[in-house]
Amino acid sequence: MNFSDLASNPHRRFNPLTREWVLVSPQRIQRPWQGQVEEVPPEATLAYDPTCYLCPGNTRAGGVRNPAYTETFVFDNDFAALKPDTPQAEFHERELLVARSEAGRCRVVCFSPRHDLTMARMNVPELRHVVDAWTQEFSALASDPHTNSVQIFENRGAIMGCSNPHPHGQIWADETLPNELSRELTAFRDYRQAHGTTLLQDYLDLELEKQERLVCANDHFVVLVPFWAVWPFETLLISRRPVSALDELHNDERTALADILRQTTIRYDNLFLTSFPYTMGFHQRPTDGADYPEFHLHAHFYPPLLRSATIKKFIVGYEMLAMPQRDLTAESAARWLRDVPAERYC
């Protein structure tokens, strides 16, 4: 089968990071839609909202008052999913009922004191503060001997379960590697053993050569729709230099990361002229103190919108019972994202 056959015929694509397959059915993109249409939530318009638990000077749901912060602000999640003082315990019954205690820490990162901003509406110096806060948190959490992985992420938009429009993200630090990181680590390790390079370095070189799935880039980062994307406008943000985590980025690379986050989120917003919802997050080396030369820093953006601001993809049916599936090809999605204006206009 040559590549042009892929654009019109059902096929499977392999994800070398997770070693799972995705079913692609490009012939199905024209099917009619009479299903659920989402409500577009109103945008936050107030720079300061007296009822917001993340705005500077306000009292949070747990009773603590936020300081009058002026850049970024990070605090321990008042409703943390993981606790540092969790007692060690194991439970086994005939290999069928198995459980293990999990210690950790959860942090909340307010990106800006401004209630009405999003990453796309923040400028590069403001986003650079966010990158610096993420990096500091990564280093501080990594230095705890009980922390073996740090997951930085953002849920953006009510549709993605984001609880508040104030720009913020979360960080969960775990004792045990979570499933996604563990699978990627195995793939990276095997690839480095076989080829001596990082998997994402070689993948990035291939994509830069092909040009078909690129969305945007700067001197230090590239954003593309991965060949194996599941979500309609899923993207992968890859550092050009194969660093294993944020703490290895140089000063100009950190600024470039701020810039590429802005470029990416502006393109998303311009696609359907709406504040684009997504879950995004970084994958970084485990933080057990060992070296991970095979690990290559990257971020995934998983946005749910399918064909407009009001129609989203659901993972149901075949996708829950069998495997992920998509209609729009990764190449078409990348073209859409490349063709929207790079400057903010919504």
15 C-beta neighbours (distance < 10 Å), count: 17
Choice between 24 and 110, CB closer to ligand H2U: 110
With CB under 5 to 8 Å by kind, the binding choice for 305 among ligand H2U, Zn ion, none is: none
C-beta of 115: minimal distance to Zn ion in Å? 3
Whole-angstrom Cα distance, residue 243 to residue 234? Answer: 22
Is residue 127 within the footprint of Zn ion (CB under 5 A)?
A: no
Q: How far is CA 190 from CA 32, 96, 195, in A?
A: 43, 30, 9
Residue from 10, 57, 62, 125 in contact with ligand H2U (CB under 6 A)? 62
Q: What is the dihedral of CA 197, 200, 205, 206, to 10 degrees?
A: 110
Structure tokens given for 94: 């005939």
Q: Is the dihedral of CA 260, 167, 140, 298 positive or negative?
A: negative
Look at residue 318 and give its three-state secondary structure. Answer: helix
Among the residue ranges 36-44, 55-63, 137-145, 301-309, the one whose residues contact ligand H2U (CB under 6 A): 55-63
Residue 264: left if φ>0, alpha if ψ -120 to 50, beta else—which one?
Answer: alpha
Structure tokens given for 67: 């300081």
Residue from 136, 170, 308, 332 in contact with ligand H2U (CB under 6 A)? 170
Beta pairing partners, 283: 298
C-beta of 162: minimal distance to ligand H2U in Å? 4
Whole-angstrom Cα distance, residue 180 to residue 184? Answer: 6
Whole-angstrom Cα distance, residue 87 to residue 102? Answer: 8
C-beta of 169: minimal distance to ligand H2U in Å? 7
Among the residue ranges 35-43, 58-66, 187-195, 228-236, the one whose residues contact ligand H2U (CB under 6 A): 58-66
Is residue 115 within the footprint of Zn ion (CB under 5 A)?
A: yes
Q: Is 92 a catalytic residue?
A: no
Choice between 109 and 245, CB closer to ligand H2U: 109
C-beta of 287: minimal distance to Zn ion in Å? 31
Total binding residues toward ligand H2U, as defined by CB under 6 A: 13
Catalytic position from the list 115, 166, 168, 298: 168
Choice between 81 and 98, CB closer to ligand H2U: 81
Residue from 163, 219, 250, 320 in contact with ligand H2U (CB under 6 A)? 163
Is residue 44 within the footprint of Zn ion (CB under 5 A)?
A: no
Is residue 78 within the footprint of ligand H2U (CB under 6 A)?
A: yes
Is residue 162 within the footprint of Zn ion (CB under 5 A)?
A: no
DSSP 121: G
Binning the chain into helix, strand and coil, the percentages to the nearest 5 are 30, 25, 50
Residue from 166, 267, 298, 312 in contact with Zn ion (CB under 5 A)? 166
Is residue 54 within the footprint of Zn ion (CB under 5 A)?
A: yes
Q: How far is CA 99 from CA 88, 174, 240, 292, 339, in A?
A: 11, 16, 40, 28, 49
Is residue 53 within the footprint of ligand H2U (CB under 6 A)?
A: yes
C-beta of 257: minimal distance to Zn ion in Å? 24
Footprint of ligand H2U (CB under 6 A): 53, 60-62, 77-79, 108, 155, 162-164, 170
Residue numbers annotated as active site: 168
